[in-house]
Amino acid sequence: MKFVILQAVTLTITFILLPNASSERYESVYVHWSSELGFQATRHPMEGGLVCATASIDRGLNVTGWHVLHISTNESCTNEQQAFSAGVGEAVLTYNDIYQHWFNTMHGMCDNRKALCQKVQNFLNKNYKWSYKMINKNRKTQPYWYQVELFLMQLRGLAASYQVVQKDEQKKLTFNDFLTSYDYDDDDDDDFESFLVRGAKLRGSRSCSGLIKLLPDSSDLYTSHDTWSSFESMWKVLKKYDFHFTILPTSNDTIPGNSISFSSYPGEIQSGDDFYITSASLVVQETTTGNNNKSLWAYVKPEGQIMEQIRTMIANRLATSGKEWSKIFSKYNSGTYNNQWMIVDYKLFKKGTPQNQLENNLLWILEQLPGYVKAADMTDELRVQTYWPSYNIPYFSEVFNLSGNNALVRKYGDWFTYDKNPRALMFKRDHVKVKDTISMIALMRYNNYKYDPLSRCECTPPYSGENAIAARNDVNPANGTYPFAALGHRSHTATDMKLATADLVNTLQMIAVSGPPYSDDLPPFRWSTSDFKDNSHLGQPDLWEFHPYLSIWPEDISENSIL
């Protein structure tokens, strides 16, 4: 489960004029500000009005597998007006989507665990009270805390505007619903930490695959990411934010990451998948490593820490290098989402550079746990082996040992090791096949679980759709037997693929494929014939058989194209 931290801000919405709901595929709204009327959202610019944000959407989920949302703000407005207006514009265009995604992933979450939910809420209340104490103290002098304030201001605009534009009383979401507006994978572990902390799920449950691949002759450098999650979570939105925030309230210096593109979901103002391209030419992604050492949960505190999704966006906005990103992200580590982060600085990559002469700091790796962070320049790995794979197991021995993975290795064997688990061996075997974007996509969408010997397990039948670069757990028989539940039949899959190249980073574009992997031997996922057809999937396509899709971020968002 992922949590958004939100706090009321001292900003009065004196008037919001919102357009009626639209079913058009392409739509734009303009968010105006005036001291007399407050914030107004209209479909056309108002004569003489100050437009603080413009939001455009391509509602293509059922056609391409993606909605595409582009929000740009006006530097003539204050930073606070820009942030709030961005939230308003997003709410106006996506409020129906927000409800559907929330219902699919969050509805009923607390029905049978009210005391636990209240405990989590109390923790969060203490956390954002402390956060605002720090904001009020430091916002004028410390860029970190000023950017935290702007993140929360944007979220406030989103939540407040949703309350106004959503006319259906049955679909009204409370303020607290926006605090927990993230996908939640239910399991049988109801302890406080598992409920609060993302990644504390089924033993062996994995979330995401990543690969950074240097092509032969250094002709290109690819960075790619597969999200793994529940089928219910497949409400996909590609977003690009062009925000003209300054570093501090009185500064004239624009933040380095003033433009960020990323894969995301309705109602979330950061990725959630955690795949970003920033205007500082950084590509940032992660795979979840989790924590199996319960003693470390003692380091998770409601004060002195900032939640992961906020820290991620602050680092994205302020950092100009992998080293700087790691330093910023490490501040106020919460331990509530423990990952291996990969930061690729494309400013340092020059096509044709000999492999052994790649510049230092091209690739930074960061891994963290509650109370512990380790980060280092790992460019040498690209120089030596031309690729960096990521598959939910820590690379650094300190993190691997501290997180309790040794106990899992002793109990279950190689599946929990860094170098002998199925995906490690698949990446090692197949990365040499990558010659272009087509072959890179094929590798990142790879699942040949019935025939690949690396997909085999001590199971009945003797293989698992989990053991692939792109998982498909729906294909495992419900009556199968597995050494641990993560290998079995459950609502869990690779839900997409994103790919950045050196040229695409320059324009903050990505190639993206939505939905579970499919091939000649693996039928596309279809809700109506799935064992999970009764799971809520409001707004989603029935058949998930989509092709690679190139995101383009012009003013006319309708130019996005299928490859």
Cα–Cα distance, 138 to 438 (Å, whole number):
48
Q: What is the DSSP letter of 182?
A: S
Q: Note the residue count of the chain.
A: 563
| The pairing of beta strand 493-494 with beta strand 228-229 | antiparallel
109-113, 179-183, 460-464 — which is least confidently predicted? 179-183
Q: Which has the closest alpha carbon to 252: 72, 75, 74, 82? A: 75
How far from 180 is each of 195, 299, 317, 525, CA to CA, in Å?
Answer: 11, 22, 23, 28
Count CB-CB contacts under 10 A for residue 483: 17
| The pairing of beta strand 496-500 with beta strand 221-226 | antiparallel
- Concatenate the DSSP letters of all residues of 3-49 into one string: -------S--------PPP---SEEEEEEEEETTTEEEEESSPPTT-
Render pLDDT for 190-232 as a digit per residue (tens, 0 to 9). Answer: 455 665 665 445 565 668 999 999 999 999 999 999 999 999 9
Average of per-residue pLDDT values in the chain: 91
More confident residue, 6 or 96: 96
Cα–Cα distance, 44 to 502 (Å, whole number):
36
Q: Which residues of 241-276 are buried (b: 16+ CB within 10 A; e: fewer)?
A: bbbbbbbbeeeeeebbbbbbbbbbbbbbbbbbbbbb
Cα–Cα distance, 331 to 186 (Å, whole number):
30
Reported as a pLDDT band with limits 50, 70 and 90, residue 179 is low
493 phi and psi angles, rounded to 5 deg: -165, 165
With beta carbons less than 8 A apart as the criterion, state whether 543 and 62 touch: no
Q: Which amino acid is at 328?
A: I
Please give the pLDDT value at position 21: 57
Share of the chain above pLDDT 70, in %: 89
Please give the pLDDT value at position 552: 82
| pLDDT over 60 (residue 9) | no
Share of the chain above pLDDT 90, in %: 81
Please give the pLDDT value at position 253: 98
More confident residue, 178 or 542: 542
| pLDDT over 50 (residue 188) | no
358-376 mean pLDDT? 98
| pLDDT over 70 (residue 297) | yes
| pLDDT over 70 (residue 182) | no
| pLDDT over 60 (residue 281) | yes
User: Domains in the chain, please, with CATH?
Assistant: 26-562 (3.60.60.30)
Q: Which has the closest alpha carbon to 211: 476, 427, 11, 35? A: 427
CA angle 263, 314, 507 (to 5 degrees): 45
Helix (H) or strand (E) holding 277: strand 275-278
Please give the pLDDT value at position 16: 54
Cα–Cα distance, 430 to 53 (Å, whole number):
45
Q: Which residues pair with 284 in a beta bridge?
A: 276, 343
129-146 mean pLDDT? 98
Whole-model pTM over 0.85: yes
CA angle 65, 316, 253 (to 5 degrees): 125
| pLDDT over 60 (residue 19) | no
Please give the pLDDT value at position 12: 46
* Residue whose pair of structure tokens reads 């998982």 in the numeric block: 471
For residue 216, count CB atoms less than 10 angstroms from its CB and return exposed for 0-12, middle for 13-18, buried for 19 or more.
exposed
Helix (H) or strand (E) holding 145: helix 143-165
Q: What is the DSSP letter of 527?
A: G
Please give the pLDDT value at position 559: 40
314-332 mean pLDDT? 99
Render pLDDT for 426-442 as a digit per residue (tens, 0 to 9). Answer: 999 999 999 999 999 99
Render pLDDT for 503-549 as a digit per residue (tens, 0 to 9). Answer: 999 999 999 999 999 999 999 999 999 999 999 999 999 999 999 99
18-45 mean pLDDT? 84
Cα–Cα distance, 538 to 527 (Å, whole number):
11
308-329 mean pLDDT? 98
Dig out the tokens for 484 from the structure.
């641990």
How far from 353 is each of 57, 215, 216, 264, 381, CA to CA, in Å?
Answer: 39, 11, 11, 34, 15
Please give the pLDDT value at position 15: 45
Rg (CA), the chain: 22
Render pLDDT for 235-252 as a digit per residue (tens, 0 to 9). Answer: 999 999 999 999 999 999
With beta carbons less than 8 A apart as the criterion, state whether 544 and 515 touch: yes
